[in-house]
Structure 1
Amino acid sequence: MTLRRRTLHDGWLLRPVGGSGSGEVPAPVGAAPVRASVPGCVHTDLLAAGLVPDPYLDENEARLAWIGRVDWRYETEFEHTPDASIVDLVCGGLDTVARLELNGTEIGTTANMHRGYRFDVTHLLTPGTNRLAITFTSALDHAEAQREHYGDLPHTNDHPFNLVRKMACNFGWDWGPVLVTAGIWRPIALEQWRRARLASVRPLVTVDGNTGHAEVHIALQREDDAPVEVRVSLAGQEVATTTSEESTVVTVDVPEPRLWWPRGYGEQHRYPLEVVLSTPEGEELDRWSRQVGFRSVELDTSADEHGTAFRFVVNGKRVFAKGANWIPDDCFPHRVGRDRYARRFTQATDAGVNLLRVWGGGIYESDEFYDLADERGILVWQDFLFACAAYPEEEPLRGEVVAEAREAVTRLAPHPSLVLWNGSNENVWGYHDWGWQPRLGDRTWGLGYYTDVLPKIVAELDPTRPYCPSSPWSFSAERHPNDPDHGCTHLWDVWNQRDYLGYLDYTPRFVSEFGFCGAPTATTLHRALSGDLTPDSPGVIAHNKAANGPAKLAARLAEHFPPPAAFPAWHWATQLNQARAIGLGIRHFRSLAPDCAGTIVWQLNDCWPVISWSVVDGDERLKPAWYALRDSYADRLVTIGRRGDRLVLTAVNDTDRPWQAEPLLRRIGFDGTEHVRSSLALDVPARGMARHEVPLPLAEPDEPAAELLVVDTPDAKRATWFFAPDLELRLPEARYRAEPRPVPGGYEVWVTAETLLLDLTLLADQAAESAVSDEALLTVLPGETVTFGVQAPKAADPAAFAEVLHTANELARRAH
């Protein structure tokens, strides 16, 4: 018989059954069982039942803290007819500390959200009705109890997330709420089989010259040692073998395969790989299929005169990483399916992103995420799930770490998009700089995972991909782990301690985290918060999780703008400051290529409506920072910056075609008067860059506070340079004519500048909540006309779009 799978997603009921927070359970919640959705979690079930308010709104997060302190019991009934097969209960994901009972008999316990579990229940099933119950102990209570075993180990935030294998950011982060979940968060099913089944399939796909190799490692679970046949098909090639063992390896060679490339470097060719398990007589027992891609990947960490490189090389080509960090897209990740992933991937690729780093405080994402990365050509840097804490290396945590890592490496092996396994996020840095060492003494803190356990697992199960012990990492115990001259670095003094102009002080080899905080779109903020809003109102503070966040926002604004007079101005100022910071940082780091080989901005997405570092907010709307990301990640980029005492124009060409162009350079007064003009002959090689000193007449203004340098280049966005700090600029009051008009699919807004307009942006959601503008952050000279295209699925008042145009002028004018 072929393996049969039957999901158990229906008929579940949920009720509280204890825990340290049981005394806080509201009477309606404990009065009767609640219908539960599977996959799902307690929070969303209580919300669907109307028993709790939305935890994402106002200050409800704090009001619902009791949920994470309660033990919860899920129960369902199902019918079963016994036969000669073996029956396993297969749990794709249980969150987190659970006891499972079938017909009143305990069948197992779990303590890890990040792995699956399988239990043989053949002899516990009865004809007719069967009852399955899963009781979840509060993960917060469990983690605190583990202190008795491991001791109190350093960690960020308020709760010991490092003592339980659960999504760390559920316990709160500097962009996320404390929502300690429980539930059956991934599919659960009964699987019936006989003779043998495919326990795992792990293809190692490589390229050698013009030949592709697929070394397919197959593990079997067997009822007996009778021979079975394994047949592997790939790209028109088929190889079969017969075995009586519990594992086998089948190698398939594919002549001249079409390669899989990252987006922007070639096509994403993939081939279906199928494994069929059968008896020697031809009866099919089990089947597995995935799409795989042929490509090679290296991490170049060679030493040179500048330090230690950190550079991705795919199919022999150097790839500049235009990256973004990825966090769970929802605090309740069962709500994120393929469609939602696809929307995030579209927003990422539309912004020029070619790499996503799956951050170590979240989850191993579902298969849909990695399938989309394969399909769209997005490189994936995958952290193992350790972040910002010291982790004990003793049992029972050690065993869970090993089991989850082996499962994750095996599951993700087929995906050509996956190009790096990374041991941890900031943990080695934390050991050096965050005051851990006196607290730890001689206790373990995780280093053995990152430098021994995990690299050995990767070397055994996935030697086709590189491994890095941590991010940041400098590739030597003799160096500081966050040395920007060596390996990958995180730049967080900028934002936390100083202005974004601080990025210009760095010449890093690879920046795997940097970013700036800003408000979500106004529509998102006003959906999440009720009442009158101010920067210091309780709801706004509750949705600003950054350490000392309000003060840091104010300090970073004060470096560029006078204090905003009202909340709308504050909101726009934080968004603009974030956008400028992201744009300046990326343009500077790209201008340092090839010595700098990539940037991964913190962060692409949010998990709820919050003031954060994201460029896409928690309601999926684009912040102005997204447009800055898109413009600075453009394939062809012109940027201006200082090198020593000279202004230098840098042209970056991230395409396979040489770029010849003749940029026009003009030094212009804020009143529109042109003082000097000149042109250059650009000849930029494919995947290369060119630098030119700006001629002195252009680089030396008569009035630094009232002039700018403008560079217009075919096939590239306009580049500008201001000769004085923002607070010294004598920007005019913004005057313009705006003409909105309906067009198919939305609207166009024609804007003619009567004065210099700096960072002209149309905040389309403020006119119609589903509207999206195609442009933002434009520098428009007096007399010029620009056009904003607005997608608006629903009809709106065209005049409203003229009312939501904003500039830096309106923020700066109060200084003069």
Structure 2
Amino acid sequence: MIRQSLHEGWLLRAVAGGQVPPQVAGRSVPATVPGCVHTDLLAAGLIPDPYLDDNETALAWIGRTDWVYETTFDAPAGDADRVDLVCAGLDTVATLAVNGVEVGRAENMHRGYRFAVADALRPGANTLTVRFDSPYRYAEAHRDRLGDRPNAYPEPFNFIRKTACNFGWDWGPTVVTAGIWQDIGLHAWSTARLATVRPLVTVADGVGRVEVVVEVERAADEPVTVRATVAGSAAEAVVAAGERTAVLTVEVRDPALWWPRGYGDQPLHPLDVTLHAADGRELDAWSRRIGFRTVRLDTAPDAHGSAFTLVVNDVPVFARGVNWIPDDAFPNRVTRARLAHRFDQAVGANINLLRVWGGGRYESEDFYELADSLGLLVQQDFLFACAAYPEEEPFRSEVEAEAREQVTRLAAHPSLVLWTGNNENIWAWHDWGWQERLAGRTWGRGYYLELLPRVVAELDPTRPYWPGSPWSGSEDVHPNDPARGSMHIWDVWNTDDYTKYREYLPRFVAEFGYQAPPAYATLRRAISDDPLAPDSPGMAHHQKAIDGDAKLQRGLDAHLPPPADFAEWHYFTQLNQARAIQLGVEHFRSHRPVCMGTIVWQLNDCWPVTSWAAVDGDGRRKPLWYALRRAYADRLLTVQPRDGGLALVAVNETGRPWRAPAAVTRVTADGEPRAKSTYDLDVPAYATVELALPADLARPEQARRELLVAEADGDAGRAFWFFAEDRDADWPAAEYDATVEEVDGGQRVRVTARTFLRDLTLFPDRLDPAAEVDEALVTLLPGESATFTVRAPRPLDAAALTTSPVLRTVN
């Protein structure tokens, strides 16, 4: 068997399209494979960076152009029975030719293709040509043939099996890509090969069971043997002549279980599968690392409606989640190292679940391998989002082929715990005015409620499937019913103040979010406006949400004083984002176990943009990240409104009881105590305890100058309750003392409050784009101190580091 990569020597040229600029027309440029047209043209200096200013607008012609990739290669040596051209990912409408002979076509970015090419090969040099037709032309032709369907954006992404957000989103650029986006190569083989290997892992009564389902493709009709080994156990089976499948069962006694992070360890075991000819020759091999664990979705009816709880190894898990979008619009830029850094940021914020959102792509093996190793749970959407999708051909067959390939590909990964049929499409059919516009045309129901559950049940019965996000569990109940299944909360961002989160008691909230601009250094790299202003041209272009700036302003007006300048606007909007999400998460967690999951929209960005992300498009952590770390802590102390008063709520998301003394004090902004109560916390493992606060704590004498401070021994930190919004509060002007000292790799900034300081935050990226700080959003009473560690390639100016606009407080 020979596997020959075809990643070298590619050239790219435009072949058709009405708007190809003169510097590109008629020219071939070197192409990187895997890669895409945009990054190749950028590397050749033929286009400006689409992420800067409004350059993406001038590059719209790329998606309306046909492109050809071409390379030469030598045919594999030897006399193999078969030679296949294997394409892991083609984006998207492709025609492939070897030496001018067409060998195959493709029209789905989300699946791989294998084409027999032996008859087209010749000795010595061969030419491979891949032509990509305009995605727009393909999608618009199917739209015109089948009739338009409702869509959240004026783009035809629902008429092509391609990453939907390539066509723009309310956080993403319109960069309609084309290219060989995953591995491509030749596979020369004889007798037989492993077409698919699908391990189904279960655990029962102390025995781990791996049912290895193998499909064999044949070039010769003779018996072959399949062997599987894992954790010191093995099994083998003969696939008789004329047969194509085998099922091997490997049992491992008392396997070490794989757990979500925070619940236990993540032991992984190599599963090796080999295929042998009758004479013992190894024909093919496959290997993955698997984990032994069980997962189920508890949706049992109860007094509150019906549950939505992920249960791993029989332990109910509170999902401390974030939504994941493609980390770059150009997937070849998303390396394993970049994913590892992003996952470290997720783990650092106490996140235990990533939802791979349905408008993006099925992620790389690197993604799921990293999730396996870190214990990050993955909820995987099938790729349908915010649109009505046609169920006619060729789409129905493409959707089934794609689903079968991806369910099989991902079956080995213990991190994957839930398949979801779509993002918001069932909800949209109910509430977005679709039914009249569709006039009886297909919209995707058959995918979500028939085809996809059938595929998952057939190929991966070890994992639960849920038809949509949101979905209530029944077509007879509104899909976004808070009391049943999963829900999304978007009225808070779109129309209401973020305190409205407290009006909801969801069983599991799979989307909720609040916007803010990216880090200052990110803005300055991407936008050349001088001066920067909330509505300057570049800022406006990098705000994709409908009425986004007005919604940001509504939030500021409700909570904060008018910002004095752009620097204060930037700080206040980032602060409001952090406060909104922290308030929502703490409220939802305080209602454990009625609510058993929160998935914040969103962890990451794909370019520099004002968005809902905690980590911006240049990988910088926004204040929201620090707020998430606090709100998602294993042990959470929070003050919540209850029954007309206030309560102290302690949430323990660990396997050990939490026993500690706690105190709640009502103090003035000058630090003078007005009332105090002490408690002995005794919170069982994976549980919540709620303690009503007495009236002398819950009722201030001077609301504009008082707050509650709750503290407990241990690692839960502090919790605050403010009786007045900052815009109405009578906080003193901030006074503090600050010292800066050099430490290994950076500087330590110590701030001692002479007055009350609210949400003290450092923005060292204003001094050096590479600078980071370890803490943010710290509130201090007079006499208290906080220490910040700043990491930067070079020492930063101490005076600048300890004054505005780098050091900020609300007051």
Give TM class, smaller chain. over 0.9
Aligned to 1:95: 91
Aligned to 1:389: 387
Q: Secondary structure at the match of 1:344?
A: helix
Aligned to 1:477: 475
C-alpha displacement of 1:807: 4.1
Q: Which amino acid letter does the alignment assign opposite residue 497 of structure 2?
A: D
Among 221, 227, 234, the alignment partner of 1:225 is: 221
Q: Secondary structure at the match of 2:270?
A: strand
CA RMSD of the aligned region, Å? 1.0
The question of whether the paired residues in 2 share the 8 Å contact of 1:775 and 1:788 is answered with yes
Aligned to 2:412: 414
Among 426, 434, 437, the alignment partner of 1:428 is: 426
Q: Which residues of structure 2 form unaligned runs of 5+?
A: none
Q: Which amino acid letter does the alignment assign opposite residue 60 of structure 1?
A: N
Aligned to 2:372: 374
Aligned to 2:102: 106
Q: Secondary structure at the match of 2:18?
A: helix
C-alpha displacement of 1:695: 1.8
Aligned to 2:75: 80
C-alpha displacement of 1:514: 0.2
Structure 2 residue 82 is matched with structure 1 residue 69: no
Q: Distance in 1 between matches of 2:67 and 2:76?
A: 29
C-alpha displacement of 1:201: 0.3
Bigger drift between 73-82 and 187-196 goes to: 73-82
Q: Secondary structure at the match of 1:9?
A: coil
Q: Secondary structure at the match of 2:765?
A: helix
The question of whether the paired residues in 2 share the 8 Å contact of 1:731 and 1:809 is answered with no
Aligned to 2:459: 461
Q: Distance in 2 between matches of 1:627 and 1:36?
A: 40
C-alpha displacement of 1:154: 0.6
C-alpha displacement of 1:798: 3.5
Q: Distance in 2 between matches of 1:525 and 1:692?
A: 44
C-alpha displacement of 1:81: 4.9
Among 116, 119, 123, the alignment partner of 1:123 is: 119
Q: CA-to-partner distance for each residue in 1:7-29, whole Å, 9 max, x for gaps? A: 101111111111xxx23211111
Aligned to 1:338: 336
Aligned to 1:44: 39
Among 482, 503, 506, the alignment partner of 1:505 is: 503
Among 25, 50, 56, the alignment partner of 1:30 is: 25
Bigger drift between 405-414 and 684-693 goes to: 684-693
C-alpha displacement of 1:531: 2.7
Aligned to 1:285: 283
C-alpha displacement of 1:269: 1.0
Q: Which amino acid letter does the alignment assign opposite residue 4 of structure 2?
A: R
Q: Which residues of structure 1 form unaligned runs of 5+?
A: 811-816
Q: Distance in 2 between matches of 1:391 and 1:287?
A: 38
The question of whether the paired residues in 1 share the 8 Å contact of 2:766 and 2:806 is answered with no
Q: Distance in 1 between matches of 2:568 and 2:391?
A: 50
The question of whether the paired residues in 2 share the 8 Å contact of 1:472 and 1:490 is answered with yes
Q: Which amino acid letter does the alignment assign opposite residue 713 of structure 1?
A: A
Aligned to 1:519: 517
Q: Which amino acid letter does the alignment assign opposite residue 719 of structure 1?
A: A
Aligned to 1:731: 731
The question of whether the paired residues in 2 share the 8 Å contact of 1:732 and 1:809 is answered with no
Aligned to 2:300: 302
The question of whether the paired residues in 1 share the 8 Å contact of 2:87 and 2:183 is answered with yes
Structure 2 residue 722 is matched with structure 1 residue 722: yes
C-alpha displacement of 1:238: 1.4
C-alpha displacement of 1:727: 2.4
Aligned positions of 1:688-707 closer than 5 A: 688-707=687-706
Structure 2 residue 709 is matched with structure 1 residue 710: yes
The question of whether the paired residues in 2 share the 8 Å contact of 1:734 and 1:807 is answered with no
State TM-score, norm by structure 1.
Answer: 0.98
Q: Which amino acid letter does the alignment assign opposite residue 85 of structure 2?
A: L
Q: Which amino acid letter does the alignment assign opposite residue 600 of structure 2?
A: V
C-alpha displacement of 1:186: 0.3
Aligned to 1:216: 212
The question of whether the paired residues in 2 share the 8 Å contact of 1:757 and 1:807 is answered with no
Q: Secondary structure at the match of 2:119?
A: coil
Aligned to 1:665: 664
Q: Secondary structure at the match of 2:24?
A: helix
Q: Which amino acid letter does the alignment assign opposite residue 281 of structure 1?
A: D
Q: Which amino acid letter does the alignment assign opposite residue 447 of structure 2?
A: Y
C-alpha displacement of 1:57: 0.3
Q: Secondary structure at the match of 2:516?
A: coil
Q: Distance in 2 between matches of 1:796 and 1:808?
A: 20
The question of whether the paired residues in 1 share the 8 Å contact of 2:208 and 2:292 is answered with yes
Q: Which amino acid letter does the alignment assign opposite residue 106 of structure 2?
A: T
Q: CA-to-partner distance for each residue in 1:773-792, whole Å, 9 max, x for gaps? A: 11111110011111111222
Q: CA-to-partner distance for each residue in 1:70-112, whole Å, 9 max, x for gaps? A: 1111111111255321110000100001111110011111110
Q: Secondary structure at the match of 2:423?
A: coil
Bigger drift between 735-744 and 113-122 goes to: 735-744
Q: CA-to-partner distance for each residue in 1:42-86, whole Å, 9 max, x for gaps? A: 000000000111000011010111111111111111112553211
The question of whether the paired residues in 2 share the 8 Å contact of 1:651 and 1:684 is answered with yes
State TM-score, norm by structure 2.
Answer: 0.98
Structure 2 residue 199 is matched with structure 1 residue 199: no
Identity level (%): 58
Structure 2 residue 174 is matched with structure 1 residue 178: yes
Structure 2 residue 15 is matched with structure 1 residue 17: yes
The question of whether the paired residues in 2 share the 8 Å contact of 1:575 and 1:623 is answered with yes
Q: Distance in 1 between matches of 2:237 and 2:508?
A: 46
Q: Secondary structure at the match of 2:25?
A: helix
Q: Distance in 2 between matches of 1:54 and 1:428?
A: 37
C-alpha displacement of 1:615: 0.0
Structure 2 residue 360 is matched with structure 1 residue 362: yes
Q: Secondary structure at the match of 1:452?
A: helix
Bigger drift between 391-400 and 562-571 goes to: 562-571
Structure 2 residue 136 is matched with structure 1 residue 147: no
Q: Which amino acid letter does the alignment assign opposite residue 721 of structure 1?
A: W
Q: Distance in 2 between matches of 1:728 and 1:800?
A: 30
Aligned to 2:612: 613
Cα 1:547–1:234 shift into 2, 3 Å = same
Structure 2 residue 324 is matched with structure 1 residue 326: yes
Among 55, 59, 84, the alignment partner of 1:60 is: 55
Q: Which amino acid letter does the alignment assign opposite residue 99 of structure 1?
A: T
Q: Which amino acid letter does the alignment assign opposite residue 407 of structure 2?
A: V
Structure 2 residue 559 is matched with structure 1 residue 563: no
Q: Which amino acid letter does the alignment assign opposite residue 40 of structure 1?
A: G
